[in-house]
Protein backbone atom coordinates (compact mmCIF):
# COMPACT_ATOMS: atom_id res chain seq x y z
CA UNK A 1 0.00 0.00 0.00
CA UNK A 2 1.52 3.33 -1.07
CA UNK A 3 0.93 6.09 1.50
CA UNK A 4 0.59 9.57 0.05
CA UNK A 5 0.72 13.10 1.45
CA UNK A 6 -1.18 15.55 -0.76
CA UNK A 7 -0.18 19.21 -0.59
CA UNK A 8 -3.01 21.57 -1.50
CA UNK A 9 -6.69 20.79 -1.78
CA UNK A 10 -7.97 23.36 -4.24
CA UNK A 11 -9.10 22.82 -7.84
CA UNK A 12 -6.36 20.28 -8.63
CA UNK A 13 -6.01 18.67 -5.20
CA UNK A 14 -9.74 17.99 -4.73
CA UNK A 15 -10.02 16.38 -8.19
CA UNK A 16 -6.86 14.33 -7.60
CA UNK A 17 -8.36 13.00 -4.35
CA UNK A 18 -11.54 12.05 -6.18
CA UNK A 19 -9.72 10.22 -8.98
CA UNK A 20 -7.36 8.38 -6.62
CA UNK A 21 -10.15 7.23 -4.30
CA UNK A 22 -11.02 4.00 -6.20
CA UNK A 23 -7.38 2.85 -6.30
CA UNK A 24 -7.03 0.38 -3.44
CA UNK A 25 -3.24 0.03 -3.82
CA UNK A 26 -2.70 3.55 -2.48
CA UNK A 27 -4.01 5.68 0.34
CA UNK A 28 -3.89 9.45 0.80
CA UNK A 29 -3.12 9.61 4.52
CA UNK A 30 -2.22 13.30 4.89
CA UNK A 31 -3.63 16.44 3.25
CA UNK A 32 -1.56 19.56 3.93
CA UNK A 33 -3.24 22.98 3.58
CA UNK A 34 -2.58 26.43 5.11
CA UNK A 35 -5.94 26.35 6.90
CA UNK A 36 -8.98 24.13 6.78
CA UNK A 37 -12.13 25.71 5.33
CA UNK A 38 -15.35 23.60 5.47
CA UNK A 39 -15.10 22.77 1.74
CA UNK A 40 -11.74 21.06 2.31
CA UNK A 41 -13.09 19.09 5.30
CA UNK A 42 -16.02 17.95 3.15
CA UNK A 43 -13.83 16.94 0.20
CA UNK A 44 -11.39 15.03 2.38
CA UNK A 45 -14.08 13.25 4.39
CA UNK A 46 -15.76 12.22 1.12
CA UNK A 47 -12.75 11.00 -0.87
CA UNK A 48 -10.07 10.24 1.72
CA UNK A 49 -11.75 9.83 5.13
CA UNK A 50 -8.60 8.13 6.44
CA UNK A 51 -6.52 11.28 5.82
CA UNK A 52 -5.23 13.56 8.53
CA UNK A 53 -5.57 17.28 7.77
CA UNK A 54 -2.57 19.35 8.83
CA UNK A 55 -0.65 22.51 7.95
CA UNK A 56 2.70 20.66 7.95
CA UNK A 57 3.74 17.04 7.64
CA UNK A 58 3.87 15.76 11.24
CA UNK A 59 7.47 14.89 12.28
CA UNK A 60 6.71 11.15 12.73
CA UNK A 61 4.80 10.82 9.42
CA UNK A 62 6.54 8.72 6.76
CA UNK A 63 4.58 8.87 3.47
CA UNK A 64 5.95 6.93 0.49
CA UNK A 65 5.27 9.92 -1.76
CA UNK A 66 4.31 13.57 -1.50
CA UNK A 67 2.24 15.15 -4.23
CA UNK A 68 2.35 18.92 -4.58
CA UNK A 69 -0.59 20.76 -6.17
CA UNK A 70 -0.62 23.88 -4.04
CA UNK A 71 1.45 26.72 -5.55
CA UNK A 72 5.03 27.95 -5.80
CA UNK A 73 5.44 28.63 -2.07
CA UNK A 74 4.76 24.97 -1.27
CA UNK A 75 8.07 23.89 -2.81
CA UNK A 76 10.16 25.66 -0.18
CA UNK A 77 7.67 24.94 2.60
CA UNK A 78 6.89 21.25 2.00
CA UNK A 79 8.74 19.69 -0.92
CA UNK A 80 12.33 20.55 0.03
CA UNK A 81 12.01 19.29 3.64
CA UNK A 82 10.25 16.09 2.50
CA UNK A 83 12.92 15.34 -0.12
CA UNK A 84 15.66 15.92 2.43
CA UNK A 85 13.90 13.34 4.66
CA UNK A 86 14.05 10.82 1.81
CA UNK A 87 10.42 11.12 0.66
CA UNK A 88 10.06 11.23 -3.15
CA UNK A 89 7.91 14.00 -4.61
CA UNK A 90 5.68 14.82 -7.55
CA UNK A 91 5.48 18.54 -8.32
CA UNK A 92 2.84 20.45 -10.29
CA UNK A 93 4.09 23.98 -9.53
CA UNK A 94 6.99 23.69 -11.96
CA UNK A 95 7.15 27.47 -12.39
CA UNK A 96 8.64 27.66 -8.89
CA UNK A 97 11.93 26.61 -10.54
CA UNK A 98 12.14 30.12 -11.99
CA UNK A 99 13.23 31.49 -8.58
CA UNK A 100 17.01 31.98 -8.41
CA UNK A 101 18.72 28.85 -7.07
CA UNK A 102 15.50 26.85 -6.64
CA UNK A 103 16.47 24.06 -9.06
CA UNK A 104 19.79 23.68 -7.22
CA UNK A 105 17.95 23.57 -3.86
CA UNK A 106 15.61 20.90 -5.20
CA UNK A 107 18.52 18.79 -6.46
CA UNK A 108 20.41 19.23 -3.19
CA UNK A 109 17.40 18.22 -1.07
CA UNK A 110 16.77 15.12 -3.22
CA UNK A 111 20.47 14.22 -3.05
CA UNK A 112 20.46 14.61 0.75
CA UNK A 113 17.47 12.27 1.04
CA UNK A 114 18.82 9.96 -1.68
CA UNK A 115 15.50 10.24 -3.48
CA UNK A 116 13.94 11.78 -6.62
CA UNK A 117 11.46 14.47 -7.59
CA UNK A 118 9.29 14.38 -10.71
CA UNK A 119 8.13 17.60 -12.37
CA UNK A 120 4.88 16.65 -14.10
CA UNK A 121 3.96 17.66 -17.65
CA UNK A 122 0.72 19.17 -16.32
CA UNK A 123 -1.42 21.02 -18.84
CA UNK A 124 0.95 20.49 -21.77
CA UNK A 125 1.81 17.45 -23.89
CA UNK A 126 4.89 16.53 -25.88
CA UNK A 127 7.28 16.90 -22.94
CA UNK A 128 8.59 13.37 -23.55
CA UNK A 129 9.51 14.27 -27.14
CA UNK A 130 10.91 17.71 -26.28
CA UNK A 131 13.09 16.44 -23.45
CA UNK A 132 14.37 13.63 -25.66
CA UNK A 133 15.07 16.18 -28.41
CA UNK A 134 17.00 18.20 -25.83
CA UNK A 135 19.58 15.40 -25.67
CA UNK A 136 20.70 16.73 -29.07
CA UNK A 137 21.16 20.36 -30.11
CA UNK A 138 17.99 22.51 -29.85
CA UNK A 139 17.85 25.77 -31.85
CA UNK A 140 14.59 27.32 -30.65
CA UNK A 141 11.55 26.62 -28.48
CA UNK A 142 8.70 29.11 -28.79
CA UNK A 143 5.59 28.94 -26.59
CA UNK A 144 2.31 30.85 -26.84
CA UNK A 145 -0.28 30.60 -24.07
CA UNK A 146 -3.80 31.89 -24.68
CA UNK A 147 -6.56 31.97 -22.08
CA UNK A 148 -9.94 33.72 -21.75
CA UNK A 149 -9.67 37.15 -20.04
CA UNK A 150 -11.28 35.79 -16.84
CA UNK A 151 -8.34 33.42 -16.35
CA UNK A 152 -5.97 36.42 -16.03
CA UNK A 153 -7.90 38.12 -13.23
CA UNK A 154 -5.76 38.76 -10.16
CA UNK A 155 -2.54 38.84 -12.23
CA UNK A 156 -0.35 41.70 -13.58
CA UNK A 157 -2.40 41.42 -16.81
CA UNK A 158 -4.97 43.62 -15.04
CA UNK A 159 -2.48 46.50 -15.28
CA UNK A 160 -1.85 45.90 -18.99
CA UNK A 161 -5.44 46.05 -20.25
CA UNK A 162 -9.08 46.12 -19.19
CA UNK A 163 -9.71 42.38 -19.08
CA UNK A 164 -13.47 42.78 -18.59
CA UNK A 165 -13.99 44.74 -21.82
CA UNK A 166 -11.42 43.15 -24.18
CA UNK A 167 -12.82 42.74 -27.71
CA UNK A 168 -9.81 41.04 -29.26
CA UNK A 169 -6.72 39.07 -28.26
CA UNK A 170 -4.26 41.17 -26.24
CA UNK A 171 -0.62 40.22 -25.70
CA UNK A 172 -0.14 40.64 -21.94
CA UNK A 173 3.44 39.32 -21.86
CA UNK A 174 6.38 38.72 -24.16
CA UNK A 175 9.73 37.56 -22.81
CA UNK A 176 11.56 34.60 -21.33
CA UNK A 177 9.98 31.58 -19.62
CA UNK A 178 11.72 32.63 -16.39
CA UNK A 179 10.05 36.07 -16.37
CA UNK A 180 6.70 34.56 -17.38
CA UNK A 181 6.75 32.02 -14.55
CA UNK A 182 7.72 34.66 -11.99
CA UNK A 183 5.10 37.19 -13.12
CA UNK A 184 2.32 34.63 -13.64
CA UNK A 185 2.88 31.88 -11.05
CA UNK A 186 -0.61 30.42 -11.53
CA UNK A 187 -0.67 30.70 -15.31
CA UNK A 188 2.80 30.03 -16.70
CA UNK A 189 3.88 26.72 -15.18
CA UNK A 190 3.62 25.26 -18.68
CA UNK A 191 6.17 27.82 -19.93
CA UNK A 192 8.56 26.70 -17.19
CA UNK A 193 7.98 23.00 -17.91
CA UNK A 194 8.67 23.43 -21.62
CA UNK A 195 11.81 25.39 -20.86
CA UNK A 196 13.18 22.89 -18.35
CA UNK A 197 12.57 20.07 -20.84
CA UNK A 198 14.14 22.05 -23.67
CA UNK A 199 16.28 25.18 -23.90
CA UNK A 200 16.16 26.41 -20.32
CA UNK A 201 14.28 29.18 -18.55
CA UNK A 202 16.19 32.06 -20.15
CA UNK A 203 16.31 30.91 -23.79
CA UNK A 204 12.68 29.81 -24.19
CA UNK A 205 10.57 32.51 -25.80
CA UNK A 206 7.09 33.07 -24.37
CA UNK A 207 4.05 35.08 -25.38
CA UNK A 208 0.87 35.15 -23.28
CA UNK A 209 -2.51 36.39 -24.52
CA UNK A 210 -5.81 37.28 -22.92
CA UNK A 211 -8.18 36.29 -25.70
CA UNK A 212 -11.96 36.78 -25.56
CA UNK A 213 -12.32 34.50 -28.63
CA UNK A 214 -11.24 31.36 -26.75
CA UNK A 215 -13.12 29.37 -24.13
CA UNK A 216 -10.29 26.92 -23.48
CA UNK A 217 -6.72 27.33 -22.22
CA UNK A 218 -4.80 27.09 -25.49
CA UNK A 219 -1.12 26.12 -25.34
CA UNK A 220 0.99 26.07 -28.49
CA UNK A 221 4.69 25.42 -28.88
CA UNK A 222 7.14 24.78 -31.65
CA UNK A 223 10.66 23.39 -31.34
CA UNK A 224 13.51 23.02 -33.84
CA UNK A 225 16.80 21.26 -33.54
CA UNK A 226 19.02 18.33 -34.51
CA UNK A 227 16.04 15.99 -34.08
CA UNK A 228 13.91 17.86 -36.66
CA UNK A 229 10.89 19.97 -35.83
CA UNK A 230 7.78 19.63 -33.74
CA UNK A 231 4.69 21.68 -33.11
CA UNK A 232 1.82 21.08 -30.73
CA UNK A 233 -1.44 22.77 -29.80
CA UNK A 234 -3.44 21.82 -26.72
CA UNK A 235 -6.96 23.16 -26.11
CA UNK A 236 -7.39 22.36 -22.45
CA UNK A 237 -10.79 22.52 -20.76
CA UNK A 238 -10.52 24.74 -17.68
CA UNK A 239 -11.53 23.32 -14.31
CA UNK A 240 -14.84 24.73 -13.05
CA UNK A 241 -13.24 25.39 -9.66
CA UNK A 242 -10.39 27.44 -11.16
CA UNK A 243 -10.49 28.78 -14.75
CA UNK A 244 -6.72 29.40 -14.66
CA UNK A 245 -6.11 25.64 -14.49
CA UNK A 246 -6.73 23.04 -17.21
CA UNK A 247 -8.30 19.67 -16.37
CA UNK A 248 -5.36 17.87 -17.97
CA UNK A 249 -3.17 19.03 -15.08
CA UNK A 250 -5.25 16.86 -12.74
CA UNK A 251 -4.98 13.86 -15.05
CA UNK A 252 -1.25 14.40 -15.39
CA UNK A 253 -0.77 14.36 -11.61
CA UNK A 254 -2.98 11.27 -11.23
CA UNK A 255 -1.11 9.46 -14.02
CA UNK A 256 2.22 10.29 -12.36
CA UNK A 257 0.97 8.89 -9.03
CA UNK A 258 -0.40 5.71 -10.62
CA UNK A 259 2.84 5.21 -12.53
CA UNK A 260 4.53 4.86 -9.14
CA UNK A 261 1.85 2.74 -7.52
CA UNK A 262 1.09 0.32 -10.35
CA UNK A 263 3.24 -2.55 -11.67
CA UNK A 264 3.29 -1.18 -15.22
CA UNK A 265 3.83 2.50 -15.95
CA UNK A 266 3.09 4.48 -19.12
Ligand X SMILES: O=C([O-])CC(=O)C(=O)O
Ligand Y SMILES: NC(=O)C1=CN([C@@H]2O[C@H](COP(=O)(O)OP(=O)(O)OC[C@H]3O[C@@H](n4cnc5c(N)ncnc54)[C@H](OP(=O)(O)O)[C@@H]3O)[C@@H](O)[C@H]2O)C=CC1
Residue 219 · residue 233 · CB < 8 Å: yes
Nearer to ligand X, 77 or 98 (CB): 98
Annotation marks residue 219 as catalytic: yes
Closest separation in Å from C-beta 105 to ligand X: 21
Closest separation in Å from C-beta 143 to ligand X: 10
Choose the binding region for ligand Y from 71-79, 82-90, 153-161, 256-264 (rule: CB under 6 A): 71-79
Q: Which residues within the stretch 195-254 sit at the binding site for ligand Y (CB under 6 A)?
A: 241-242, 245, 249
Q: Which residues within the stretch 20-39 sit at the binding site for ligand X (CB under 6 A)?
A: none
Q: In the chain, where do the E strands start and end?
A: 2-7, 26-32, 52-54, 65-68, 89-91, 117-119, 138-147, 170-176, 205-210, 217-225, 228-236, 238-239, 242-246
Closest separation in Å from C-beta 236 to ligand X: 5
Residue 9 is a binding residue for ligand Y (CB under 6 A) = yes
Q: Which residues contact residue 119 at a Cβ distance below 8 angstroms, ignoring those fewer than 6 apart?
A: 91, 94, 97, 193, 196
Q: In 98-202, where do the E strands start and end?
A: 117-119, 138-147, 170-176
Q: What does the binding site for ligand Y look like in residue numbers (CB under 6 A)?
A: 7-13, 32-35, 69-74, 77-78, 92-95, 122-123, 185-186, 189-190, 193, 241-242, 245, 249
Amino acid sequence: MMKIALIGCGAIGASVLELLEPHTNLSVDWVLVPDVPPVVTQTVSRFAPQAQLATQLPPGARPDLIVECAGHAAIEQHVLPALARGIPAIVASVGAMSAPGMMEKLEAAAAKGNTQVQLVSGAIGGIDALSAAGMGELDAVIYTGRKPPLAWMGTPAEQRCNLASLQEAFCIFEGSAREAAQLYPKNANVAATLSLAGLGLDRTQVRLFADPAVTENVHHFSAKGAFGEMELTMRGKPLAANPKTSALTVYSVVRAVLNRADRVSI
